[in-house]
Structure 1
Amino acid sequence: MHWKQPSGAMAANTTTSKLVVRPAWRTRTARTCHHKTATTARFGHQMRHDRAMHRILATSVLAVLLVTALSACSSNDSDGNSAGKSDTSNVKPLDATRAFTELANKVASAKLSGTVTAENDPNELLGRPHQYTSKVTFSDSRISADDLTGTDKGDVSRGGAIESFATAADAEARAKYIQSVTKSMSALAEYDYAHGTVVVRVSHYLTPKQAAAYKTATNGLS
């Protein structure tokens, strides 16, 4: 038996069917490949996202650790500095009486002669703003009695005086003022030594060498 070649329209239909129809296994394979490609792409994107998150997290942790370490160092430095410095919050300014006691231990010729109060202060400065808060006067046995003629008890020329102030700036200002007033009047000239909140005034009847003992004692006041 012989098969005949299809002719006409049937031949055309047969040709068309051969061009359109695809095997089912090829379609399934293409879909499977597409699905695997999409899955791989999503997995790769997720991996990149996870790595980025890990880097951000690691950076944040490192920053926190660095800040903590710096804070600890700063705290230690503060504690070290505090330990190295003496606490002066409770230290009171040196009053005139205590200053004289220390000074007299080094200058044996100095003897306390009086304590100045608001009632007997000839200068009327005790307790005034920026003026001395306490004052004592002293004599010096090395000064000749002849030089003391005509002077009043408590005069600086008899030995000296110690004035204490609330601040070192007030003490320095007082010493400079006295020097500016007395430098042109030899009869009123005196030695003035400022140390901290204290001013020690010494009679001009003492020689520079004798007065130097007061300067040394003044610089040693605590």
Structure 2
Amino acid sequence: MGRGYRAAMRFHTTVVLAVVPMVFAAGCSGNDATEPAAQQQPAAAPASAVAPATTAAKPATATAIIEKLGKAQLGLTGVVTQTEDTDPNNLLGRPNGYTSRASADLPGGDAAGERGSIDRGLVVEVFDTADLAQRRSDYIQGLQKDNPLLGSEWHYRTADGTGLVRVSGKVKPSLAKKIQAAVSS
């Protein structure tokens, strides 16, 4: 094969090596036609319609969420805010873990359960993103579905999606519905 053919092949190889990463990155961006319309970014608004820049609100802490639930008179007692030393799951502050965690006893929960555990009634975990909170919920629910011996839980998400309120399946369903209403309000 001649020099012209080798030069053309080098050129084509260089182009392919330059284009493939761009195509791959575009394919992984999540903005393809299969994504639901509700998740696609809206078109930019005219400059006159753009609202002034605001800082994104930080998610409430787990303790603040429990304090809010306490005002709904649900029978919460023994509220404890976990630290990295007392977190029973060792997820606090770790990659893909929660940013804050608190727990409380609820009527129907097991008062003899380990302090900070879901067995005692209620746990609140707050994550950096709603996606992380959803993944945590899906993981727990999946474990319990696959192994009923692990028990059951009700899961409720805060309005911004970053807070996961977990209620032990030992708690009466009527109380769990009141907690759901308090989380929703």
Say yes or no: does 1:97 pair with 2:63: yes
Task: Measure, in 1, the Cα distance between the counterparts of 2:66 and 2:119.
Answer: 17
Task: Measure, in 2, the Cα distance between the counterparts of 1:80 and 1:112.
Answer: 49
Structure 1 unaligned blocks of 5 or more: 1-75
Offset of residue 107 of structure 1: 3.7
Q: Indicate if the aligned counterparts of 1:103 and 1:214 stay in contact, CA closer than 8 A.
A: yes
Aligned match of 2:143: 181
Task: Measure, in 1, the Cα distance between the counterparts of 2:54 and 2:177.
Answer: 30
Kindly provide the amino acid, as one letter, of the partner of residue 151 in structure 2: L
Aligned match of 1:192: 155
Q: TM-score scaled by structure 1?
A: 0.56
Secondary structure class of the residue paired with 2:51: helix
Does the C-alpha gap of structure 1 residues 107 and 178 become closer, same or farther in structure 2, counting only changes over 3 Å? farther
Counterpart pick for 1:126 among 83, 92, 110: 92
Aligned match of 1:109: 75
Give per-residue Cα distances to partners, 1:103-144, cap 9 Å, x unaligned.
21124311243111111212111111111010001011x227
Does the C-alpha gap of structure 1 residues 88 and 157 become closer, same or farther in structure 2, counting only changes over 3 Å? farther
Offset of residue 161 of structure 1: 0.6
Q: Indicate if the aligned counterparts of 2:105 and 2:111 stay in contact, CA closer than 8 A.
A: no
Task: Measure, in 1, the Cα distance between the counterparts of 2:74 and 2:148.
Answer: 29
Does the C-alpha gap of structure 1 residues 185 and 93 become closer, same or farther in structure 2, counting only changes over 3 Å? same
Task: Measure, in 2, the Cα distance between the counterparts of 1:133 and 1:170.
Answer: 11
Secondary structure class of the residue paired with 1:182: helix
Secondary structure class of the residue paired with 2:96: coil
Task: Measure, in 2, the Cα distance between the counterparts of 1:179 and 1:117.
Answer: 24
Q: Percent identity?
A: 32
Aligned match of 2:134: 172
Q: Give runs of aligned pairs for residues 1-222 of structure 1, distance below 5 A.
A: 77-82=46-51, 88-140=54-106, 142-143=107-108, 147-149=110-112, 151-183=113-145, 184-195=147-158, 196-220=161-185
Task: Measure, in 2, the Cα distance between the counterparts of 1:94 and 1:191.
Answer: 20
Whichever structure has more helix as a proportion of its residues is: 1
Secondary structure class of the residue paired with 2:174: helix
Does the C-alpha gap of structure 1 residues 119 and 211 become closer, same or farther in structure 2, counting only changes over 3 Å? same
Q: Indicate if the aligned counterparts of 1:112 and 1:136 stay in contact, CA closer than 8 A.
A: no
Q: Indicate if the aligned counterparts of 2:74 and 2:178 stay in contact, CA closer than 8 A.
A: no
Q: Indicate if the aligned counterparts of 1:118 and 1:126 stay in contact, CA closer than 8 A.
A: yes
Structure 2 unaligned blocks of 5 or more: 1-44
Q: Indicate if the aligned counterparts of 1:175 and 1:192 stay in contact, CA closer than 8 A.
A: yes
